[in-house]
Amino acid sequence: MSKTKAPGAGGPAERAAQLRAELARHDHAYYVLQKPSISDRAYDALYRELADLEAAHPDLATPDSPTRRVGSELPEGEKFATIPHRRPMLSLDNTYNEEEVRHFDAETVRKRLAKEGVSEAPEYAVELKIDGTAVSLWYERGVFVRGLTRGDGTRGEEITANLRTLKEIPLRLLTAGEPPAFVELRGEVYLPRTEFERTNKEREDAGLETFVNPRNAAAGALKQKNPAAVAERRLHIFIHTPGEMEGASFSRYHEFLDAVKAWGLPVNPHRAVCASIDGVLAFIAEYEKKRHGYDYDTDGIVVKVDQLALHRTLGTTSKAPRYAIAYKYKPEEAETTVLDIEAHVGKTGVLTPRARFEPVFVSGTTVTYASLHNQDEIDRKDIRIGDRVIVEKAGEIIPQVVRVLTEKRAGDLPKYRLPSKCPVCGTKTVRREDEVALRCPNARCPGRFRERIVYFASRGCMDIEALGEKMIDRLIGAGLLKDLPDIYALDRSKLIELERMGEKSVDNVLANIEASKKNDLARLLAALNIPHVGTRNAELLAEHFETLEALRAAPAEKLEQVEGVGEVLAAAIVAFFQDADERRRLDALVAAGLNTRSLTAATRKQAAAAGGPFAGKVFVLTGTLAKLGREEASQLIKDRGGKTASSVSKKTDYVLAGEEAGSKLKKAEQLGVKVIDEAEFERMLKG
């Protein structure tokens, strides 16, 4: 153990401060400047000395200490707090060609400035658009105190503990003098491609589902409740936008970025200031190919007016600033060969054709498969096994076949037809009237059950992360999973016998499964694969009936009383609960200890009983809200004991009207129903 100095001059307090400052400088040199200033062994020695000092003198530990980067796991059942942004985190309008960029310059910027009597010519700051997940960092007196996700743009989830694990984020700003009273820095958290490949390899080895792309991996990491798991993901960040500031001001956007860099945070080095729109277009052209040479995904160029005073003049719309746009590059295309077309059986029995390619690198990842959707799509594009095709990623995420290079077709290749028998169980396939899809009608088809299990465990349903597709396939192959209730009967001794399943992997699987038992009833209903019941309908049904028992016993006429449930859906729900196999399956899940009550309904009933401006009140929403989505506003009303309705009547208490409100507003005025705007709604929320 390192020896500590005696208290007094040059004692532990002074030494701890020296070590914190020195480690911060080394972190900045290594993670931001990418120029290590010390060996790993020497760094570890300094870190251990500081840790020993803080252990011996707990009062010396400070929030900005490097030893405090990885905090404690969020308690079980506790959610991330939702915090309002000091100013909305708006998205950017997209442009896709030179003409649209020039229109932005001439019409959105110059014409509006002229209309406001501003003669100053705009200059433009341009930089790479990072394909990651947006966050906001708050610093008070130079100390990092809070980190938020973008959320809905007006409020985000507090993920401070997770962001502290990013060593590129200084826990204290590197300022020579007095730091600003408050600065909010907005940026993009991303996962480098090399780390993405490493993470997916580790997950594949552990039998977990791999991530689709680096952006999903980064976003998923930030939602982890255990900061130690976030630290293992090795995320990075680039700062790109100023938020609220007190004690710091800048006249130019590029000056803000220079200051951020001096404070010790990373900004993208591939940026410039252009005196004209021609310079912007030249920068866009220069980086169209260059962008693929970096260790992170980019999907375009961000163009901002450099003069910050002009930002205030130009203002914003309800969704995006007028002083900035994102130029999106055309998706990268690549040529490859269709090696095979495979029919994949879904949870409802629908056969989906999937092309298997000769592996090809497109937009940052290697592509091997792409969905061909259905027989009509195959016929329309005339895709055949053996064809040379052009593939791209829609939105730079989902691989798809753009076109067939028929001029390169080798001979008379046969046309592809989906099989007349299910490729899994051999049952004759059917095509329902007025449907494009071909189906396996066998309700006991192993292929369908495999997909039901995958869907049941998915994030939007029971959220059993450790049960990814690869793990499910291993469990099915070992005979441990044959039906949904088998998930909750998995035995530790059987799991540990599986190849490449260590103690940690088994603990992770069993912990995930156990945690899923506490999910809200709405998640269970969504996971059961009831025909036509998705996430939204599941929430409505759970809240209305409150318990699974009440829902199972409900006749069609009672089901039709639920918002959004019509005759067809009601009949499908009744038929599902009357099916002998589904009843047996559901009874087994209930016996396994799954929660069968709506937790949300209970909370909202308590809110209604407690009184307040929303309790028992009926709201109708119409038009476009500037800050809140209508879905979010509805949730806020219900969480406070209110109700929402789709049409205005004498029973309506309030009509919340946004921009371009239509006939509902007129109906409210005719009936004398009180109309409120978003500002009044926010005052009610605060009250």
Identify the three-state secondary structure at position 184.
strand
Are residues 36 and 28 in contact, defined by beta-carbon separation less than 8 angstroms? no
> Greater confidence, 296 or 4?
296
What's the fold here for domain 601-686? Rossmann fold (3.40.50)
pLDDT category at 74 given cuts 50, 70, 90 is low
User: What's this model's pTM, rounded to 2 decimal places?
Assistant: 0.57
Whether residue 421 lies in the annotated active site: no
User: Which residue, among 639, 625, 615, has the nearest Cα to 679 in the 3D structure?
Assistant: 625
User: What percent of the chain clears pLDDT 70, i.e. is strictly above it?
Assistant: 92
pLDDT of residue 136: 96
Identify the three-state secondary structure at position 161.
helix
Mean pLDDT for all residues in the chain = 87
pLDDT of residue 253: 97
Average pLDDT in the 52-62 region? Answer: 79
Question: Would you call 214 exposed, middle or buried from its count of C-beta atoms within 10 A (0-12, 13-18, 19+)?
Answer: buried
Residue 61, pLDDT > 80, answer no
Residue 346, pLDDT > 80, answer yes
> Greater confidence, 527 or 210?
527
Are residues 353 and 400 in contact, defined by beta-carbon separation less than 8 angstroms? no
What are the structural domain ranges in the chain? 12-68, 93-328, 334-438, 446-516, 521-597, 601-686
Ordered alpha helix ranges (H), 206-332: 214-222, 227-233, 253-262, 277-290, 308-314
pLDDT tens per residue, range 291-324: 888 889 888 999 999 999 999 999 988 778 999 9
Strands (DSSP E) along 65-181, which ranges? 82-84, 93-95, 124-130, 133-140, 143-149, 155-157
Residue 573, pLDDT > 70, answer yes
Q: Which CATH architecture group holds 93-328? A: 2-Layer Sandwich (3.30)
Residue 607, pLDDT > 80, answer no
Residue 474, pLDDT > 60, answer yes
Per-residue exposure over 297-332, b if at least 16 CB sit within 10 Å of its own CB, e if not: bbbbbbbbbbbbebbebbebeeeebbbbbbbbbebb
Are residues 657 and 676 in contact, defined by beta-carbon separation less than 8 angstroms? yes
pLDDT of residue 2: 40
Residue 165 structure tokens? 């694990």
What is the Cα–Cα distance from 513 to 496, expressed in whole angstroms?
A: 16
pLDDT of residue 16: 83
pLDDT tens per residue, range 350-397: 898 999 999 998 876 788 999 888 888 899 999 999 999 999 876 556
Average pLDDT in the 191-212 region? Answer: 75
**Location of structure tokens 């006991």:** 444
Ordered alpha helix ranges (H), 458-579: 469-477, 492-495, 503-516, 521-527, 535-545, 548-553, 556-559, 567-578
Strand pairing partners for 138?
Answer: 146, 184
What is the Cα–Cα distance from 158 to 83, expressed in whole angstroms?
A: 6
Residue type, 327: Y
For 12-68, CATH gives 1.10.287.610
Query: Would you tell me which CATH number, out of the four given (3.90.1170.50, 1.10.150.20, 3.20.20.100, 3.40.50.300), belongs to the domain 521-597?
Result: 1.10.150.20
Looking at 129, 617, 638, 643, which residue is catalytic?
Answer: 129
pLDDT category at 4 given cuts 50, 70, 90 is very low
Residue 67 structure tokens? 């030893």
Are residues 528 and 457 in contact, defined by beta-carbon separation less than 8 angstroms? no
**DSSP character at residue 175:** -
User: Which residue, among 165, 164, 146, 145, has the nearest Cα to 155 in the 3D structure?
Assistant: 146
Residue type, 293: G
pLDDT of residue 204: 65
Residue 357 structure tokens? 């390619």
User: Which residue, among 374, 311, 350, 304, has the nearest Cα to 92 in the 3D structure?
Assistant: 304
For 334-438, CATH gives 2.40.50.140
Name residues whose C-beta falls within 8 Å of residue 441's C-beta, 6 or more positions apart in sequence.
349, 427, 428, 429, 430
Q: Do domains 334-438 and 521-597 have the same CATH topology?
A: no
What is the Cα–Cα distance from 263 to 265, expressed in whole angstroms?
A: 6
pLDDT of residue 396: 59
CB neighbours (10 Å) of residue 127? 23
Q: Which CATH architecture group holds 446-516? A: Orthogonal Bundle (1.10)
pLDDT tens per residue, range 410-455: 888 999 999 999 999 999 999 877 677 888 989 889 898 899 999 9
What is the Cα–Cα distance from 264 to 230, expressed in whole angstroms?
A: 21
Average pLDDT in the 589-608 region? Answer: 86
What is the Cα–Cα distance from 684 to 673, expressed in whole angstroms?
A: 17
pLDDT tens per residue, range 518-533: 999 999 999 998 988 8
Residue type, 31: Y
Name residues whose C-beta falls within 8 Å of residue 511's C-beta, 6 or more positions apart in sequence.
466
